[in-house]
Amino acid sequence: MKKVIDLGKYIEIAINYLQVTFSPIWDAMDDGISWTVDNMTAFLLSIPFVVLLIAITFLAYYANAGRRSLKKEGFKKGLGLSIFIIFGFLLIYGMGYWKEAIQTTTLVLVSTVIALIIGIPFGVLSAKSKIADAVIKPILDFMQTMPAFVYLIPAIFFFSVGNTPGVIATVIFSVPPAVRLTSLGIRNVQKEVIEAGRAFGATENQILFKIELPLAMPTILTGVNQVILLSLSMVVIASMVGARGLGSIVYQGIQQNNVAKGFESGLGIVILAIMLDRITQAFANKNQINKDE
């Protein structure tokens, strides 16, 4: 087929232009993200395995049991996940992928934090302004439907290989639910509650921080949960541009046609995913329970 419209060429020109013109910014971002990821990984690895295992087990237990931690019903609620984490982590450690698991966790957490820092304000904006919403929505659709691999190419362009392009690609892929669910949460806040705030002389900022965001919190936390899971689903893809962790082992498994390697590391990712999902979900639910109690 003959190519009539050479759109890709213009995109390439634009990307080139951006890369050259703003290179100090890209460099700074690269330095910042690499520094954070490296130091966080190093810090987590410096903690003895047993200590970290106990700490995360307790965190998971508290997330589920909450204020009833010391009571029987709390015990019932929190026990399952705690046992799962203990066995899961022992398995990862035993398979020899502890370091990779920590690297993956760090990557996911850093991406999640960046995605939320970007996503929540845009979510607020799209809830507040119809025009902003009309602009943001198609962009989100674009970000979510564009195959994730495509983001890798310019990411390498801007940041070369390593953790940074992995984080950036992950952030682009996982930002949409943060924006969407923040926006949804805020738009679903009962009109009368906001009106009550207005009637008592609340400023726009007070309405946002004292009424809308707290009431939207359960929905926003569901968004956080989604962001984390999407980030995890990106780790294998991110490893293609040099991001370290369990994803890179899976990638190696594919390249070497090594079923054992692929399965072990894949299972590690599943265990991390279940842990992160259950803990964040428990925190989201706890926020909801507070209201009905």
Indicate the DSSP class of residue 101: H
Q: Which of 275, 274, 235, 253 is nearest to 95 (CA)?
A: 253
67 touches other proteins (CB under 8 A): no
Q: How far apart are CA 227 and CA 104, in angstroms?
A: 15
Residue type, 45: L
230 alpha carbon, distance to own chain's centre: 6
* 181 vs 211 by CB, closer to other proteins: 211
What minimum distance in Å lies between the beta carbon of 74 and other proteins?
19
Residue 191's contacts (CB-CB under 8 Å, 6 or more residues apart) are none
Residue span binding other proteins (CB under 8 A) among the ranges 53-61, 142-150, 174-182, 205-213: 205-213
Q: How far apart are CA 96 and CA 116, in angstroms?
A: 32
Q: How far apart are CA 271 and CA 75, in angstroms?
A: 22
Residue span binding other proteins (CB under 8 A) among the ranges 46-54, 137-145, 209-217, 221-229: 209-217
* Other C-beta atoms lying within 10 Å of the C-beta of residue 67: 12
Q: How far apart are CA 178 and CA 280, in angstroms?
A: 14
What minimum distance in Å lies between the beta carbon of 217 and other proteins?
8
Binding string, 135-174, against other proteins, x = CB under 8 A? ----------------------------------------
* Other C-beta atoms lying within 10 Å of the C-beta of residue 158: 19
Q: Tell me which of 1, 145, 201, 257 binds other proteins, using CB under 8 A.
A: 201
What minimum distance in Å lies between the beta carbon of 210 and other proteins?
8
Residue span binding other proteins (CB under 8 A) among the ranges 63-71, 164-172, 213-221, 254-262: 213-221
End-to-end CA distance of the chain: 65
Range list of H helices, 5-48: 7-21, 23-46
What minimum distance in Å lies between the beta carbon of 287 and other proteins?
8
Q: How far apart are CA 132 and CA 140, in angstroms?
A: 12
128 touches other proteins (CB under 8 A): no
Residue found under tokens 């983001």: 151
195 touches other proteins (CB under 8 A): yes
* 203 vs 255 by CB, closer to other proteins: 203
190 touches other proteins (CB under 8 A): yes
131 touches other proteins (CB under 8 A): no
185 touches other proteins (CB under 8 A): no
Residue span binding other proteins (CB under 8 A) among the ranges 68-76, 189-197, 234-242, 274-282: 189-197
- In the complex, the residues that contact other proteins under the rule CB under 8 A are 190, 192-193, 195-203, 206, 210-211, 214-215, 217, 287, 290-293
